[in-house]
A and B are shown apart, each in its own frame.
Chain A
Amino acid sequence: MRRSWRKGLGNAFGVLATSGLLLALLALGTMIATTALQAGKLTAMDAMAQAGLALSLRSVDLPGLGFLSYVVAAQVDANSAAAQVGLSQGDVIVAVGGRPVGRPNEVWGAVKARGEGPATIAWIPKPEKLWGRLQAVARPERAGEFCVTLTSIPAGSKAQEAGLQPGDVLISVGDLPVTGTRQAWEAVVAAVRSGLEEVPLEIEREGKRLKLSLHPVQRTEIPFQLDFFGAWWRFLTRIGDPRYPERTGLLSALVGSLLVVGVMALFVFPLGVGAAVYLEEYAPKNWFTEAVQILIANLAGMPSAVVGIFGLEIFARSWGLGRSVFAGGLTLALLILPQTIIATREALRAVPRWVREAAASLGATPWQVVRFHVLPYALPGIFTGFILALARALGEAAPLLLLGAFLYVTFVPKSLMDSFTIVPLQIFDWATKPQDGFSCVAAAAIIVLIITHLALNSLAIFLRNRYQRRWT
């Protein structure tokens, strides 16, 4: 009886331990899955950008209606599909493929849901196109008050269709009293967003009140191409326009990352291998060697923020390197060097003692032993450690954030003294931007970072398994 109770407890503990690992893996899996899900919107964003549209969110607080957000075409490219159907900068997009939209995220969601091919876009023309220029005119009969009048009605406009004429005074739009030129148009947007096709207008013409109805919404078809590979290719190979998530790109951050990590590698590889060879092959066993080892272990555990402060003070300010690629590479080198030394030492330690003794007994000098016998055997291990160090360096953001690397640069760094940004910092920048779409491009950049990380790690594991010699 007692025996089975003990066994049950043991089994429960086994289950608990298993679930511990599963939970840990689940949390990490969720992380990667949600990021991939967020990045999935990139295709739809690109489709919109390829149609010539850059979107932005506007919001307005209308008295009587409250807070309202709407999507405005912030940029329309000349000769694009959007421009050809008559859309221009400042028009408001109210529905895509029959789905009402109030913010850019919803537009992209609708495009994605709609899929490939033409989609109907419902939009309200900007004020100049809807009813021409409005004018606030002082009322001669009532001092201090003014009214909003139409000055000229563009030919073929919705206002003309509704029967508005120059000189008409707008009294109310969709039950909202008109208080300003901009507000009158926003009242139209609000009425349409609340579901009205037909916006009732009250006007004053030659002293008489009239009721008209305006159909402000235009519907046009725009062909959208959901091009997955094209979208990613464009995202990775352009510098882009940092103001709009659908037009921004990762190129300058990619180049910056490669340059900084390249500079880092140039310093870390010789120094790290040299230090490891000294400690493992040459150093006498005394307190000094012991102290150096402890110092290196501590350097490896130093927080990246502290390394960043060091880089900022010594490289950027004292040495006058500024916020350059060179200073960034040196700072990263400081962070990665101890790790490389430790990994290289482990690789050297794996070479058995008798290899050294056999070589030395044949008359090889210490350098010859290292150069022709120890290093060749240790090389796969050294490379494995080095690739892992590169993977870590590519993902480090904190020291360079402190160094003051720019969060976004609109050029590709060409020399070592140029300023730069790197992929993790670019992600940091995008992730903190509140506008719709930036979290999606941040997720896309994260996917790039994770794929690089996984590729480098797999390469390291492959090298280790393939070339590492087992000494029996």
Chain B
Amino acid sequence: MLVNSHHSITSLELRPPFGRLLKERFIRWVFMVCAFFAVVITFATLGMFVAESLPFFAQVSLGEFLGGIRWAPLHEPPSYGVLALVADTLVITAIALGVALPLGLLSAVFLSEYASFRLRQVCKPILEVLAGVPTVVYGFFALRFVTPLLQRTFLPQLSFWNGLSAGLVMGIMIIPLVASISEEVLFAVPRRLREAAYALGATKFEVTTRVVIPAASSGIGASFILALSRAIGETMIVALAAGRTPAWPPDPTRPMLTITTTIVNIATGDHEATAFIWSVLFALGFLLFLSTLVFNVASHVIVRRFRERFP
């Protein structure tokens, strides 16, 4: 269609040759397909959860599932009260956040406001590396070090598997996450705010607690929400250290069963794959998926707002 007419200046064509256009289109299309994968996977996950947990919700009412406190799917008659699991999960999460939020925030304040530039340059990569330490390592630490230590010192009645040491160690695991996100938002608070406060005679403490932290509060909040979502979804630490029996009322000195551990139990158990227990797995997965989704979206939106406020 296009004639390559280098000999005739009058028919000079600015459009690239058709072959190259086709190639460009093709490449663009390939990249788009790659990006589209994320959409496909998300909707496939959602679809899978809805479709596979339908048989469960056809038999067990939503009220019984969310309101019941007795989790005994293999007993006769079975009982599917997820509240016991949710309570255990939340207690362990609360312990973890009790450790991670203060320590993480203090570390962030130190790094952003007090540490010298060099120290900050050294500490940030260390935090990044620590944030990536495999979770099974933390689980081992909880089971083989923290629990025996607590048994020897403060809590002789602590059982071998317990929610307390799982929660404490999970908190240690989450510290780097909270610290690095909070540090970033604290550091991003514009210098002019600090200087204005100093000009009014505020001390460093007052600048930090009354100006910088409030200005960064939404970002810090986002890091807390992300920590929450991480703690709820954490699997290996609780599977190793928290035990496999639900505790009602929740008691962190006794074995506890979280949602994630229940999923592991069902998936690795020797139950018939076609059995009803399989749809229980999907119902629990759905619950986990939805709750972490809500927290992740919330944190995403908050961080975005923060970025828009202090670009």
Contact = CB atoms under 8 A, between A and B. Distances in A.
B232 interface: yes
B44 A314 contact: yes
Given A303-B233, A306-B45, A309-B285, A296 B104 contact: no
A295 B38 contact: yes
Nearest to B113: A17
Contacts of B24: 365-367
B107 interface: yes
Q: Is the interface of A mostly helix, strand, loop or mixed?
A: helix
Interface in A248-305: 270-275, 277-279, 281-283, 291-292, 294-299, 301-305
A319 to B, nearest CB: 12
Interface string A396-424: 11100111100000000000000000001
A392 interface: yes
Contacts of A271: 34, 37
B23 A402 contact: no
A69 interface: no
A7 B204 CA distance: 8
Contact of A13 (B32, B175, B208): B208
A35 interface: yes
A89 B178 CA distance: 55
B123 interface: yes
B135 interface: yes
B306 interface: no
A292 to B, nearest CB: 6
A295 B42 CA distance: 7
Interface in A308-352: 308-310, 312-314, 317, 334, 337-338, 341
Q: Is the interface of B mostly helix, strand, loop or mixed?
A: helix
A431 B203 CA distance: 51
Interface residues of B, number: 87
Interface in A335-387: 337-338, 341, 365-367
Contacts of B38: 275, 292, 295-296, 299, 337-338, 341
Interface stretch (A24-32, A99-107, A199-207): A24-32
Interface residues of A, number: 90
Interface stretch (B3-11, B63-71, B190-198, B235-243): B235-243
Contacts of A310: 41, 44-45, 48
A274 B31 contact: yes
Nearest to A23: B103
A177 interface: no
A395 B209 contact: no
Contact of B206 (A6, A270, A309): A6
Contacts of B103: 20, 23-24
Taking each of A13, A16, A304, which has the highest tally of chain B beta carbons within 10 Å of its own beta carbon? A13
Contact of A302 (B134, B176, B203, B292): B292
24 contacts: A10-B204, A10-B205, A10-B206, A14-B110, A20-B106, A20-B110, A24-B172, A31-B145, A278-B35, A292-B35, A295-B38, A301-B229, A303-B234, A303-B260, A304-B233, A367-B23, A391-B132, A397-B236, A401-B264, A401-B267, A443-B140, A449-B137, A453-B132, A454-B129
Given A301-B229, A398-B236, 17 more contacts: A10-B203, A13-B205, A20-B106, A23-B103, A31-B137, A35-B137, A274-B34, A275-B31, A302-B289, A302-B293, A303-B233, A306-B289, A337-B37, A337-B41, A397-B135, A397-B136, A398-B135
Interface of A: 6-7, 9-10, 13-14, 16-21, 23-25, 27-28, 30-31, 34-35, 38, 270-275, 277-279, 281-283, 291-292, 294-299, 301-306, 308-310, 312-314, 317, 334, 337-338, 341, 365-367, 388, 391-392, 394-398, 401-404, 424-425, 427-428, 431-432, 439, 442-443, 446, 449-450, 453-454, 457, 461
